[in-house]
Amino acid sequence: MILGAARGRMGIGPLKYPFAFVVAVLAVGFCAALALPATESPLSKLWLGLPARAAIVIYGIGLLPIIVLPVAYALTFETQTLSAEDVERVRELARDSRVRSQDQTS
């Protein structure tokens, strides 16, 4: 995610906070699921219909990042997407690359 969001010298910009949150949620969630004792039984308390470990994995590790990241991308869309100048620079680089490759094959 971080490599995909990085933009040159700007890095990931304001997305560093949501990414740090997601990394923390994943680390804490996996550690919590692994640290819980293996005492599940038919009488175990359920968290939203699931045993504790499964609830942590599904709701914490699975759903929480799915909610946070799209909101973060939506809020930073204008600053994180390519500008018209960036698109034109990429097109110019593509043209230069095509010209160089045609010159080398001729």
The 10s digit of each residue's pLDDT in 62-104 is 998 899 989 998 888 887 777 788 889 999 999 999 988 888 8
pLDDT at 85: 87
User: What is the residue whose two structure tokens read 């994943």?
Assistant: 26
pLDDT band at 106 (very low <50, low <70, confident <90, very high): low
pLDDT at 44: 80
The 10s digit of each residue's pLDDT in 22-46 is 999 999 999 999 998 888 778 788 8
Query: What own/partner pairs with CB < 8 Å and gap ≥ 24 does 66-72 have?
Result: 68/18, 68/21, 68/22, 68/25, 69/1, 69/18, 69/22, 71/18, 72/15, 72/17, 72/18
- How many other CB atoms sit within 10 Å of the CB of residue 59? 14
Report which of 3, 12, 29, 4 is spatially closest to residue 76, judged by C-alpha positions: 12
pLDDT at 9: 77
pLDDT at 24: 94
